Amino acid sequence: MIQKTILNDTHRALGAKMVDFGGWDMPIHYGSQIEEHHQVRRDAGMFDVSHMTVVDLRGARVREFLRRLVANSVDKLKKPGKALYTCMLNPQGGVVDDLIVYYMSEDFFRLVVNAATRDKDLAWIAAQATAFDVEVVERPEFGMIAVQGPTARDRVIGLLREEDRGRVGKLTRFAAAEAKTETGVDLFVARTGYTGEDGFEVIVPEADAVAFWNALLEAGVKPAGLGARDTLRLEAGMNLYGQDMDDGVSPYEAALGWTVALDGDRDFVGRDVLEQQKASGAPRQMIGLVMDEKGVLRHGQKVLTPHGEGEILSGTFSPTLGKAIAFARVPAGEIAAGVEGGVRVDIRGREVPVRVVKFPFVRDGQPQDGVLA
């Protein structure tokens, strides 16, 4: 049966076009995906991301458990509230999921995992946790709203009670804090997001989620659908699980090498495979592409490079750039930037030249160097 978030009726009342999103009935847009995209880049927009799952880990050995579970090092988390983006790997070095780990206290860490991988993740985490006597508790009673854009933080802070405003305003990127609204609602406010803009992801008790959403609306934050979230995150150079990586792809093959910490002799799942890839090179690589011709790059299109064939992973029309952009996974090997890379994409039988660029494509609303050529 299709699942609904607590905000389902609210989305419908706002005129959302709803779609089946990995088993969840979610808004794809509220009229225009492109307008919602620009709204987030220029001002502030909000996304219902309540389909994502909060998982709380408790026990004396949680940190030790996470040292084993994830490829990034939780020892980077020194102050309560700090967050870490990481992949959790299988023994073959493939990505089970990408997630955020929040350090709450020494016996309490919080994970936020993807919606579509929820069951698989929970089973995997629970199986690994038994040896460490860690309690794994899913928290479906929370809603989650991402407020993103240059004015997003101010608008959220304006809804907090006086004494919490300063503290939440001072949160650094990838840090979180608990706070209350003026009406006394408990929030977990994290300065994270998935759009390349500043903003907060706010975890709110389900019972208060609709009122909080409506308060944000009144504060001038416009609703944005998962369609805009997808174009924003691709512009921001962020991976989407299931499209840009999965169980058969290592972090090195997904341009996520920066999230891998081969620190000391920490024995995390998949480490031996990653060490081997680090030493001799991963067989494939992920590259960023921009197409200057009209048209749209799409998932699954064939990509031709001097080193062999690959395929488009995420591909879309970038509203900020007015051009098609994409990630592609191609065989390993040096590829020059720009059209000199000799990379082409097969679009309905036509080989269209594309430029190889560094990503992110867009950061803080601005096209990055070399992206517009």
| Contact residues: other proteins, CB under 8 A | 17, 28-29, 32-34, 227, 231, 294-296, 298, 316-317, 319, 348
**Minimal distance, residue 63 CB to other proteins, in Å:** 42
Nearer to other proteins, 187 or 347 (CB): 347
**CA dist list (Å): 38 to 121, 224, 359, 366:** 33, 10, 19, 12
**Minimal distance, residue 275 CB to other proteins, in Å:** 40
Residues ≥6 apart with Cβ < 8 Å to 275: 262
Residue 322's φ and ψ, nearest 5 degrees, are 70, 20
| Pair of tokens at residue 27 | 């808004």
**Minimal distance, residue 325 CB to other proteins, in Å:** 12
Q: Dihedral sign, CA of 275, 278, 281, 282?
A: positive
**CA dist list (Å): 356 to 258, 291, 293, 306:** 20, 9, 14, 13
**Minimal distance, residue 33 CB to other proteins, in Å:** 5
Nearer to other proteins, 61 or 299 (CB): 299
In the chain, what's the furthest Cα-to-Cα distance?
Answer: 61
**Minimal distance, residue 94 CB to other proteins, in Å:** 28
Nearer to other proteins, 90 or 301 (CB): 301
Nearer to other proteins, 79 or 348 (CB): 348
Examine residue 80 and say whether the peptide bond preceding it is cis (omega within 30 degrees of 0): no
Nearer to other proteins, 209 or 240 (CB): 240
Q: Please tell me whether 135 is known to bind a ligand.
A: no
The owner of tokens 């998935």 is 194
**CA dist list (Å): 86 to 45, 100, 103, 104, 258:** 26, 6, 13, 17, 9
Nearer to other proteins, 259 or 316 (CB): 316
CB burial string 3-28: b at 16+ within 10 A, e below? bebbbbebbeebebebeebeebbbbb
**Minimal distance, residue 17 CB to other proteins, in Å:** 8
**Residues 144/7, Cβ–Cβ less than 8 Å:** no
Which residues contribute to the annotated binding site for substrate? Answer: 201
